Amino acid sequence: MTKARRAALLGGAMIGAAIAGLARADEAIDLWEPYNAAAVYDEACRLASERFMDPGMNGLDWEAACIDRRERAVRCASAVELAPIMDDLLAQLETSHTAFYPKGSRQWAELIDIFFDDALWEAWPEGFVALPVRRVGIGIVTREIDGRVFIEDVYPGAPAHAAGMVMGDELLDVNGQRWTDRAAWPTREGEAARVRVRRNAGGEPIEIDVVGESLRPDEVFAEAQRRSLRVVERDGVKVATVRLRHGGGPYTEQFEEQLRSDEVQDADALVVDIRGGWGGVPLDFLTRFDLDLSTFHARMRGGEWRESPTVWRKPLVLVIDGGSRSGKEILAHNARAAGRARLVGERTLGAVVGGSPFPLPDGSILYLAVMDVLVDGQRLEGVGVAPDIEVPFELPYSAGADPQLEAAIDEAARLVTG
């Protein structure tokens, strides 16, 4: 089964809708020099008017909103320059899964490579993207807070991780220029960049030379998930922890392999960290922890009987926050409704609709909400899922400390000891 078939509808995209939107985009495809912002902007406005999940555009006068911003948009010299205007326009729809991803940005590369197999992208306009998708970078996720750029995530195994950069670092500049992951990395593969970060508020900048690598998001996510597995002892209890930055397709299979490992099976409790990254968790994911399933034992010749580890029946804790979205939110909702897990952290994003990607003339992607969703008759969009144990977390200058994960480990140990 391909990644596209295994990917969760709510965490990624509606592939049929994406392919259906190709006709006009194909006519417009051209990589101009200089940048043709007008064609990109107009195509995005047209696609949204025709494909957005609510034909009434959530009560917004969409045509007027597009006209109001067009004069500024058409003067943009690049997709990165156009991005803030597109962000402002799409924000008026007040709906998740609705975004503009400039070609070459981290989100652009991850959406293409993580959610879909090659068959989908081969159906897109010729020259739109080279497969497999690779992007020169160092493996970080950035977030802008009050005009400053902070490192929100560092992918284990990527260059930034090896260089000692940590979550919470303020990213001052790269080669003397302000940079966020909406832009392409400023050096070529194999070339070093001078990165300046500030680890503590008011502290002196730290200079780090990092060599950019050609990274394939699919491989980066798999390696990060592999490295996330660890077992810690807390009050005499062994607690296994795994982080799922994306839960669909092969990452679910990888998680099941981790769940079967002796390292995890010997633990007394499990913490699954579903913060950040993307959604994509299959709707049947909770069956890995379903107490109502029948038990299954097997043994090899001369060995001992062992229960099949596909289902985890011991204490379970999920770590959630505002970066937990889409299919991850449904998992959190279902886990609590079934009484199967404790939720630790902060309220989830409230991004639970069905999204689909559409190609734009410059190779960028317009991501649109194309399907509304109810879960158990409730609308989680704009609401999210609250934790059982709330643990605030301030990203700036956290210096790699993770109070939410630590609290989840404490709770897992408490569930064992009572």
Residue-wise pLDDT tens for the chain (418 aa)?
Answer: 344 333 333 444 333 333 333 333 333 334 446 899 999 999 999 999 999 999 999 999 999 999 999 999 999 999 999 999 999 999 999 999 999 999 989 999 999 888 876 666 666 666 667 778 899 999 999 999 999 999 999 999 999 999 999 999 999 999 999 999 999 999 999 999 999 999 999 999 999 999 999 999 999 999 999 999 999 999 999 999 999 999 888 899 999 999 989 999 999 999 999 999 999 898 888 888 876 655 666 677 778 876 655 678 899 999 999 999 999 999 999 999 999 999 999 999 999 999 999 999 999 999 999 999 999 999 999 999 999 999 999 999 999 999 999 999 999 999 999 8
Regarding pTM above 0.85, the answer is yes
Last-in-domain residue among 99, 122, 145: 122
Last-in-domain residue among 122, 144, 164: 122
Rounded Cα distance, 412 and 240, in Å: 9
Q: Which residue has the tokens 């194309």?
A: 370
The answer to whether residues 233 and 381 belong to one domain is yes
The answer to whether residues 410 and 288 belong to one domain is yes
Last-in-domain residue among 94, 122, 150: 122
CATH code assigned at 283: 3.90.226.10
| 224: three-class secondary structure by DSSP | helix
Residue 393 included in any domain: yes
Alpha-carbon distances, residue 400 vs 34, 274, 394, 403 (angstroms): 42, 17, 11, 10
Residue 76 included in any domain: yes
Residue 179 included in any domain: yes
Do the Cβ atoms of 65 and 89 come closer than 8 Å? Answer: yes
Q: How many domains does the chain have?
A: 3
Residue 406 included in any domain: yes
Domain, as residue range, for 152: 135-215
How many whole angstroms from its chain centre is CA 108? Answer: 11
Residue 254 included in any domain: yes
The answer to whether residues 386 and 284 belong to one domain is yes
Among residues 150, 154, 166, the alpha carbon closest in space to that of 395 is found at 150
